[in-house]
Amino acid sequence: MAAADHRKRQQSNGKLSWLCPFTKSIFPAKRRLRLDPSNNLYFPYEPGKQAKSAIKIKNTSKSFVAFKFQTTAPKSCYMRPPGGILVPGESLIATVFKFIEQPENNEKPIDQKTKVKFKIISLKVKEGTDYVPELFDEQKDKVSIERTLKVVFLDPERPSPALDKLKRQLAQAEAATEAEKKPPVDTGPKVVGEGLIVDEWKERRERYLARQQVEAVDSVKQ
């Protein structure tokens, strides 16, 4: 009986181990971030130049989330910021830089295909965690692939909704970067502090005048 029970447990464990990857493939990890654009990175097609794209990243979960940008061409592509931590509901617009190669084999410039891939991964972290890229190496089993992004080239001379949106996002990203560079505005002493100083001065003056009156009365009596 004991041997039979042992064999049954082994069989059930084997079934569970087989089901785990199967269920993971059917029920993928829930995404923590919302990307806009959600599937593509749009670049103005300017061969021989470094082009810029933009993507909005928002933390839609109830936890603090670390994110990281990955690419198959780190020497010619990078993102600013390359990673970070977003609090629940927080969003930012990241700028992606890519050098545009010249077309090959008489290929139409705008139809040029690229083998470069972009990926954004995420990791749930505790509040107060400092961002370092090594976080993703230390917790590989908890890292989620948010999206693999495809490169789409746009004709910079041809107006389109995608190009207009890209320009708006790049302008917002640049404004945010400039705002971070500015030192905090010195608004001077707070009104509350000034009020306290004035009140204290008034109290001292009133006490001084009261003493003067008492001394004057005493001198008259004498």
CATH number of the domain that residue 93 is part of: 2.60.40.10
Token pair listed for 211: 């003493």
What total of structural domains would you count in the chain? 1
The predicted structure's pLDDT at residue 17: 47
Give a yes or no: residue 145 inside a domain: yes
In a domain, 99, yes or no: yes
pLDDT digits (tens, 9 = 90+) for 138-164: 999 999 999 999 999 999 999 999 999
Give a yes or no: residue 83 inside a domain.
yes
Look at the pTM and tell me if it is higher than 0.85. Answer: no
Assess if residue 201 is contained within a domain: no
Contacts of 208 (CB under 8 A, 6+ apart): none
Average pLDDT over residues 4-24: 51
Residue 61 within a domain = yes
Confidence (pLDDT) at 30: 76
Q: Which band of pLDDT confidence, cut at 50, 70 and 90, is reported for residue 208?
A: low
CA angle 49, 50, 55 (to 5 degrees): 140
151, 116 contact by CB (below 8 A):
yes
The total of other beta-carbon atoms located within 10 Å of residue 78's CB is 14
Examine residue 59 and state whether it is found in any structural domain, yes or no: yes
Coil, helix or strand for 85? strand
- Section 46-57 average pLDDT: 94
Is residue 211 in a domain?
Answer: no
**pLDDT at residue number 110:** 56
Q: Which domain holds residue 37?
A: 22-181
Q: Which of 134-148, 157-171, 184-198 has the lowest mean pLDDT?
A: 184-198
% pLDDT > 90, the chain = 53
